[in-house]
Structure 1
Amino acid sequence: MLVHLSIRNYLLVESVELDFAPGLTVLTGETGAGKSILIDALALALGDRAEGGVVRQGAPRAEIAAEFMIDGLPQLAAWLEEAGFASDDGALILRRVIDAGGRSRAFINGSAAPLAQLKDAAEFLLDIHGQHAHHALLRPQTQREVLDAYAGAQQSAAAVSAAWYAWQVARAQRQDAESHSQARQIEREGLNLAVEELRALGDDLARWDEIQIEHARLAHVTTLLEGSHALIHGLDEGEAAVFGRLGEMSARLDAMQAVDDSLSEVSTLLNSASADLAEAVHALRRYAGNLNLDPERLGELDRSLSDMHRMARKHRVQPDALAALLQQFETRLGELAASDDLDALQAHEAAAWTQYQAAAKQLSALRRKAATALSKQVTVAMHELALAGGKLDIQLQPVSEPRTHGLEDVGFLVASHPGLAPGPLGKVASGGELSRISLAIQTALSGVAGVPTLIFDEVDVGIGGSVAEAVGRRLAKLGETRQVLVITHLPQVAARGTQHLRVAKQASGGFVSSNIESLDADARVEELARMLGGLKITDTTRQHAAEMLAG
């Protein structure tokens, strides 16, 4: 559960430190005081998008930190361990820092983390029900999502959606094969011809560089032979050959070394040069011996190079890319063969359809069971919320053709009074009734959710009197099993809280700020009296407030 929230330099808040208790916590304050600031700040700590405008005027940055105790959340603890954010004290601290320019940083237990991971952690921690949630409830998609959430069928719904798309792809492939078979036949014939031509070049496709080197050597073999013989003659065979001259010099150096032994290093170097020269001459003779005039082989290489250049020009690639092009053509031919196998494509489509049907029927069964249970639970809650005789009827209407969300549409039909036939939610319920029905549904969902903390942001708008008392009782009952935080303008709801926070505006030094404080018993009486009587608080309103708290 949420145990502490720290807010600094966020919008109108300069600095607030709040401790939270189990049960029902109510947050009140005059209109415009900034009651939703706490919820908005908490949402930022949980990964919501931030902008520079949220930083308090004159401050360099805003900072929000939320601390949760997670002893009863083993799945979250395992996720934190795997992600490298585990702590030893059973606490989880989510922190968000936003600078005045809009740049944002996020931290989990003191370590930097991307926003996506804050959002992942938030999924385990709490649900926020906004004051306009009842408007979203009018949309068929939202009604379907509500039912799936109550049924615990979100994964099943996702599987149905994935199976539907897989079936659509398989069907499109089969239809494409049927309608474009002639075009693919033309493409296949062209590819077959190109593959045959490229395969005719044989191993030469992969030997482009080797063939070029061999061709260059054979084309210039006469020049190479003449050069080799000239080098051998100059180094070893001519009258002034280098090798002979080097021998004479070596003999003279030996005679000098006999007189001065310090020339031994020079003698060693000269002997080494003589040995290297002998090896070079030997290598030249071996090279020249392997050079042969081979006009026939040269002609073969000429033809190979010519063929590869012609193919390269035809396909508008470089000759060394022909081998890769052949592989690309062969791959495409395989794809065309598979796409033209109508029997295989039809079998694949049928298998995809069967898989979709199985997943959709399983989802339908979950929805039917959940629709009955949710209808009963919400109907009971409606009676508790001063809608006696009203009921919710969840209908599953078969669709004319399979859809991504399954085999049925979900519709919430409601009768707000006895004797009225159930009708569409948006046409039958008034604004206040819709708000109460929405609260009944939200609390029903909260009963099956695993999150320990629930936040309601003015979901009691548009109601009052005995209805407000019923709403307060409903929220207090929910607070017996969950930590519940409610922003409210109703004293009947505020009186039910086990903890009471108040938001107030104050002006100082030309700046307006919002302050959030926890109220003691006396302060709660004063706040409830204000909510009951407005600006003028009398002893009567104080007495009424005290009675509400006592009741």
Structure 2
Amino acid sequence: MLRSLDVHDLLIIDRLELSFQPGLNVLTGETGAGKSILLDSLGFVLGWRGRAELVRQGAAQGEVVATFDLPTGHAAHRVLEDAGLPGGEELILRRVNTADGRKTAWVNDRRCSGEVLRALSDTLVELHGQQDDRGLLNPRAHRAMLDTFAGLDGTEVRGAWRGLQSARKAVAETQAMLDAVREEEEFLRHAVAELDKLDPQPGEDAELDARRRQMQGAERIRDDVARAFALLGHEGAEGAMGEALRWLDGVAVDAGHALEAPLAALGRAMIELGEAQDGVERCLEALEFNPSELEQAEERLFAIRALARKHGVQPDDLGDFAGTLRDRLATLDAGEHDLEDRRATLKAAELAYDAAAAQLSAARAEAAGRLDKAVMAELAPLKMERAVFETLITQAEAGPEGTDAVAFTVATNPGAPAGPLNKIASGGELSRFLLALKVCLRGSDSGVTMIFDEIDRGVGGATADAVGRRLAALAQGGQVLVVTHSPQVAARGAHHWRVQKRVSEGMTLSTVTPLEPSERVDEIARMVAGDSITDEARAAARALLAG
């Protein structure tokens, strides 16, 4: 509920502080007195798009502060939570417009964007009038209005839609994966066959390289080692030392003890020479290799390195790379089965959604008939018994809210073509259509302040009285603000404000004054008789107020 509205330096308002009440609040005044300026001010603080130049002439900035009471469970609490703004039982909106056009907004003393203001306004206020495109005249909202009237929450359809979208996504992702793998299937199968044929092992590159170097080195040194071995053998050092040993041993007795040490040394030398021969011989054996072995080692080493370069991996990683390629091929082989399973899931999801949407469509069709009858019943007291109201349901693109497009249409006279509310009805007719429809849809507006801007334009007498009675009924248990020129409507108000213009220091300003019961008589009499208020006009005003 809107509790207060404070306006400073906006348009022709210098300072205005209004306290609103539950029930039917009426604002009256002569044409041009500034009643629409109050709506402009409220729309400004709620983030609505309106006039570009709002700051009062000569002022540095204009400001509007609106205070709302928020009961527990009010939809505004969710908006505040989603925006990270402080909540509570009281909501204070403040917005400033500087003379150079800059706009700044606060919610409960926390800076916020115009987008957040507009999201809050959708939960706080409904504006109804002949130029209204945010409420009943907005065709995009008609489906939700019909659902609310019918008590349909659409949970099952939205759940089925989420399941359908999830199934569609799974099929699309699987199909895309399979398409991508199929594009490289030939490459994968060739690469896996090539890797399997070569079968490179971890560490094999280093082993082959070391063996290759060893065999290449053996070719260079083996001849030298063989020559050295020959020199150490019987034809070389071994034979010479053996011959020397025999010659010395034959004369050792005659030489006394002089040859004992040399003979001992030659003996030890013969032993060392034998060990040297054994070592060199083993080396020769190690240096022996089949020339084709070197060729084979080089071929395999080069093949491994070429394959590694081809796939952009290290030689030791070729085995793991081959495993990755095999997994991708396995994915392709198994993917066809997965795709079939997911297509089956999609088909089931489509059937579930179609069933839920069809059930919702049937419920909407039934509710549309009830709504049409209810609106038609309301039109008769509003002197529109010849008009025809119809809720038109057509096929729409499937979505989370079902497969129905809903539009409220009217035909003002029997036999006349039906069409959208704002295209077919005249000003006065449109106002009454909107009021009748709103009365029928009233149950969903808990906590919303409804504003009717001259919705009684073009009607009078008993019709205006019927309008006033319905506005009063709408205000029961809630809050309705009405800008009106009709004395019959004004008399139904529980609270009454008069909007006037005054001139102060050569500047025109607008004021709003709450009226006492006696003042209401004069204001309604003015609405009945014009500028000259007569006793008859006052009597008529009292009669209207008496109901």
State the TM-score, normalized to the length of structure 2.
0.65
What secondary structure does 2:441 align onto?
helix
In 1, Cα distance between the equivalents of 2:371 and 2:305? Answer: 79
Which residue pairs with 1:432 in the alignment?
428
Which residue pairs with 2:106 in the alignment?
107
Q: After superposition, where does 1:480-495 map in structure 2 within 5 Å?
A: 480-495=476-491
* Deviation (angstroms), 1:512: 3.5
Instruction: Return the letter of the residue paired with 2:90.
Output: A
Which of 41-50 and 91-100 deviates more? 41-50
Unaligned runs of 5+ in 1: 219-294, 314-319
* Deviation (angstroms), 1:385: 1.7
Q: After superposition, where does 1:245-394 map in structure 2 within 5 Å?
A: 310-311=310-311, 338=335, 343-388=340-385, 392-394=389-391
In 1, Cα distance between the equivalents of 2:201 and 2:16? Answer: 78
Structure 2 contact 125–450 (Cα < 8 Å) conserved? yes
User: Does residue 1:505 correspond to 2:488, yes or no?
Assistant: no
* Deviation (angstroms), 1:400: 9.6
* Deviation (angstroms), 1:542: 4.1
Which residue pairs with 2:463 in the alignment?
467
Which of 349-358 and 368-377 deviates more? 368-377
Instruction: Return the letter of the residue paired with 1:547.
Output: A
Structure 1 residues 158 and 499, CA, compared in 2 at 3 Å: closer, same or farther?
farther
In 2, Cα distance between the equivalents of 1:428 and 1:94? Answer: 37
In 2, Cα distance between the equivalents of 1:99 and 1:173? Answer: 52
Structure 1 residues 117 and 137, CA, compared in 2 at 3 Å: closer, same or farther?
closer
Instruction: Return the letter of the residue paired with 1:464.
Output: G
Which residue pairs with 2:230 in the alignment?
none
* Deviation (angstroms), 1:390: 5.3
Structure 1 residues 305 and 47, CA, compared in 2 at 3 Å: closer, same or farther?
farther
Structure 1 contact 525–546 (Cα < 8 Å) conserved? yes
Instruction: Return the letter of the residue paired with 1:110.
Output: D
* Deviation (angstroms), 1:142: 4.8
What secondary structure does 2:59 align onto?
coil
Which residue pairs with 2:15 in the alignment?
15
* Deviation (angstroms), 1:490: 1.9
Structure 2 contact 178–335 (Cα < 8 Å) conserved? no
% identical equivalent positions: 37
Structure 1 contact 134–434 (Cα < 8 Å) conserved? no
What secondary structure does 1:54 align onto?
coil
Structure 1 contact 393–413 (Cα < 8 Å) conserved? yes
What secondary structure does 2:53 align onto?
helix
Instruction: Return the letter of the residue paired with 1:385.
Output: L
What secondary structure does 1:384 align onto?
coil
* Deviation (angstroms), 1:523: 3.6
Q: After superposition, where does 1:66-145 map in structure 2 within 5 Å?
A: 66-71=66-71, 73=73, 83=84, 85-87=86-88, 90-133=89-132, 141-145=140-144
Which residue pairs with 1:6 in the alignment?
6
Write out per-residue CA displacement over residues 169-224 of structure 1, whole angstroms, 9 at most, x where no aligned residue.
569959x969x9999744543566578889999899xx9xxx9xx99xx9xxxxxx
What secondary structure does 1:65 align onto?
strand
Which residue pairs with 1:544 in the alignment?
540
Q: After superposition, where does 1:377-416 map in structure 2 within 5 Å?
A: 377-388=374-385, 392-394=389-391, 396=393, 399=395, 406-410=402-406, 412=408, 414=410
Instruction: Return the letter of the residue paired with 1:485.
Output: L
* Deviation (angstroms), 1:479: 1.7
Which residue pairs with 2:450 in the alignment?
454
Write out per-residue CA displacement over residues 345-392 of structure 1, whole angstroms, 9 at most, x where no aligned residue.
531431231232133134224313432432232222212322346554
Structure 1 residues 60 and 156, CA, compared in 2 at 3 Å: closer, same or farther?
farther
Structure 1 contact 50–102 (Cα < 8 Å) conserved? no
In 2, Cα distance between the equivalents of 1:374 and 1:79? Answer: 30
Choose 1 or 2 for highest CA Rg.
2
Which residue pairs with 1:28 in the alignment?
28
Instruction: Return the letter of the residue paired with 1:131.
Output: Q
Which residue pairs with 2:37 in the alignment?
37
Instruction: Return the letter of the residue paired with 1:494.
Output: A
In 1, Cα distance between the equivalents of 2:153 and 2:134? Answer: 22
What secondary structure does 2:28 align onto?
strand
Instruction: Return the letter of the residue paired with 2:59.
Output: A
Structure 1 residues 15 and 359, CA, compared in 2 at 3 Å: closer, same or farther?
farther
In 1, Cα distance between the equivalents of 2:529 and 2:143? Answer: 42
Instruction: Return the letter of the residue paired with 1:387.
Output: M
Which of 431-440 and 143-152 deviates more? 143-152
- Aligned pairs, number: 453
User: Does residue 1:524 correspond to 2:516, yes or no?
Assistant: no
Which residue pairs with 1:147 in the alignment?
146
Which of 529-538 and 514-523 deviates more? 529-538
* Deviation (angstroms), 1:307: 5.4
Which of 1-10 and 124-133 deviates more? 124-133
Structure 1 contact 170–348 (Cα < 8 Å) conserved? no
In 2, Cα distance between the equivalents of 1:454 and 1:203? Answer: 80
1:445 pairs with one of 441, 444, 459: 441
Structure 2 contact 26–496 (Cα < 8 Å) conserved? yes
What secondary structure does 2:447 align onto?
coil
State the TM-score, normalized to the length of structure 1.
0.65
Structure 1 contact 63–98 (Cα < 8 Å) conserved? yes
Structure 1 residues 336 and 78, CA, compared in 2 at 3 Å: closer, same or farther?
same
Structure 1 residues 191 and 300, CA, compared in 2 at 3 Å: closer, same or farther?
closer
